[in-house]
Amino acid sequence: MPDEYSDYKPLLLEEASVETLKSDAYRQFILEAAITPAVRLVLRRSRLRDDWPYVDTKFNPNTGKDLPATSYDVIHTWFLGRGADALDSHLPWIDRLDDLSAAEKREAKELFAQLTASMAEAINQALDVNGGRCPFRVNRAFEAIDEAGKRIEADPDRTGAGDLFVGKGLIAEGSEANVNRGVQVLLRSGEMIRQNRYDTDQFKDQPADIPQGPKMLMQAAPPLLYRKSQEPQLRQQIVTMTAEFMANVLDLHYDAETAIFSEYIDRTTQQRKSYLDPGHANEFVGLGLGTVQCLKSDVAGLTDERRALVERACRELPRLLIQSTELGFNRKHPGLYKAVDTQTGKVLNDDMPWWNLPETMRAAILAYEVAGDDKLGEQCLEMLRICHNAYFAHYLNRDNMLFAYQTISGATGKVADKVPAVPEGDPLYHTNLALLEMLEVLDRL
């Protein structure tokens, strides 16, 4: 594909089969339509703003327009962690991106390694300034600030998504010191999560009920740590925590009889609520099956309890994925709704964010891999197919190097200039990480 993408045409899947997904044509399409343009976008934006030592996501993906210059006064620590994780994961793929020139490959490898190191350094500074916490939003001096830019104090007795993502970002950088510190950040956050001291700090209003989100996000830690460290104690500390959280989510947020998932449980009674976020449900499947792979690989540590959890996850997570996708998919204007009511079927939020589609594609191929039933496996592949077609047909912006629009309206099928969580572009985290892992799974099928 050329550097400009006005002539982009999606590859639509008419059937869902492993043979099609494993084909050279499909792999090349994913690399050319999603991975290569994103790498080029990072290179281009870095050349234009070489004084910004992080992934430059200061633009509106719905319009393609740059954010004001003042946006560079704010650092979303989420993106430091996500960016380090994402860029490091791209490095082994750069030489396989045939559309990149030799010069682009050299530049990408050098820049991605440099940005990963810079983001890890910034994470350490933010943790030092804020007493071991990494607030959602900081200024250029790494001091916690609110939405208006006013200084605030990071609560030492709470945790939030910033802490979770920067912990993983430090591990992704890979040096022994950063891996050790990243693990400690995650373990501290895990203890706060156990005590329900987690803030959904990208939003002003905190949910009244207990979300499954923080326990879901932790599921990404074991595969990352297993790639970066051979230290048995660190591995056991992380996988023990995430296995506990997986079992807890399956116990409290999932009904095995109906395969219906609940984003929230009542804070007092622990009763499941009828609010379903299909993307978060499917992200739990994809990340959870990464934890399952780590549990299975540790033969010596596979206790009866862990073996039972692995069997339970392999049995239930494919069903959870299929049910959540079917309940949340918009057949009229293809995409996954942000929220639906599992009791009434009513759409609670008809925004259709981009990120839940590649997350579902990754989860679907991982679920297919463990599904012990042919029919269940075929259904997983069908969920992958419809999400692939929705994403690649409707979400890629030909005028912004195929970077995905953040939100499409479920009512009209048109781009809605709404921000799901953070008012800037994603640092290659949701789409690219999910699709690269999907290709890795296809390689081993």
Does the pLDDT value for residue 232 go beyond 70? Answer: yes
**Is pLDDT at 429 greater than 60 in this prediction?**
yes
* Mean pLDDT value of segment 34-41: 97
Q: What is the mean pLDDT of residues 174-200?
A: 97
Neighbours of 349 (CB within 10 A): 13
Q: Where are the domains of the chain?
A: 18-444
Question: Tens digits of per-residue pLDDT, 237-295?
Answer: 999 999 999 999 999 999 999 999 999 999 999 999 999 999 999 999 999 999 999 99
d(CA 338, CA 357): 11
Residue 207: what pLDDT? 82
Q: Is the pLDDT of residue 149 over 80?
A: yes
User: Model confidence over 355-377: pLDDT tens digits?
Assistant: 999 999 999 999 999 998 999 99
* Model confidence pLDDT, tens digit, residues 300-357: 889 999 999 999 999 999 999 999 999 999 999 999 999 999 999 999 999 999 999 9
Contact 52, 72 (CB under 8 A): yes
H-assigned helices in 298-423: 304-328, 356-370, 374-394
Q: Report how far apart, in Å, the C-alpha atoms of 284 and of each of 241, 245, 413 are.
A: 15, 11, 26
Q: What is the pLDDT of residues 219-230, one digit of tens each?
A: 999 999 999 999
pLDDT at residue 50, as a whole number: 86
pLDDT band at 152 (very low <50, low <70, confident <90, very high): very high
Whether the predicted pLDDT of 102 surpasses 80: yes
The pLDDT of residue 301: 87
Return the residue matching tokens 């343009």. Answer: 37
3-state secondary structure 152-217: CCCCCCCEEHHHHHHHHHHHHHCCHHHHHHHHHHHHHHHHHHHCCCEECCCCCCCCCCEECHHHHH
Contacts of 392 (CB under 8 A, 6+ apart): 10, 11, 12, 33
**Residue % of the chain over a pLDDT of 90:** 93
For 18-444, which CATH class? mainly alpha
Binned at pLDDT 50, 70 and 90, residue 3 comes out as low
- Confidence band (pLDDT; 50, 70, 90) for 422? confident
Angle between helix axes 232-253 and 304-328 (nearest 10 degrees) is 50
Mean pLDDT of 135-144: 96
| Cross-strand partners of 352 | 408
State the average pLDDT over residues 140-160: 95
**Mean pLDDT for all residues in the chain:** 96
Report, as an integer, the average pLDDT of 410-432.
92
pLDDT of residue 203: 67
The C-alpha atoms of residue 59 and residue 405 are separated, in whole angstroms, by 11
